[in-house]
Amino acid sequence: MNTLYVRTSGTAIASLIFGVLAWVALPLLGAILAVILGHIARGEIRRAPPGSIDGDGMAVAGLVLGYVHLALAALVIALIAMVGMFAIAAWFGHFLA
């Protein structure tokens, strides 16, 4: 009798773990690893025979957590840069006036 064992993708699990760690302990590194591992896991699951590898939901969750964290980090960096530019412009304007 042939039995098909379904296994969970290790890269999908790692993607989810790094996605959570991006919000708790490893801000940018965790987000980058979550995105990379999430894409690798989804490709692995897609290439495997149907029903043999599970974990697509975990891979997607890791991708979402990673991408949202990266987007918020980019937004914060842009905001800090804008405030810095306004501060520098005001400082130079003070001396030119």
The one-letter amino acid code at 22 reads A
Contacts 24+ apart (CB under 8 A), 53-56: 53/6, 53/7, 53/8, 53/9, 54/6, 54/7, 54/8, 54/9, 55/8, 55/9, 55/12, 55/13, 56/12
The answer to whether residue 38 sits within a structural domain is yes
The answer to whether residue 21 sits within a structural domain is yes
Would you state the pLDDT for residue 5? 81
The answer to whether residue 51 sits within a structural domain is yes
The answer to whether residue 87 sits within a structural domain is no
Q: What is the residue range of 62's domain?
A: 7-69
Residue among 32, 30, 53, 33 nearest 42 (CA):
53
The ranges of the chain with pLDDT < 70 are 1, 95-97
What is the per-residue pLDDT across 81-92, written as a single tens digit (0 to 9) for each? 999 999 888 888
Structure tokens, 22? 């991006």
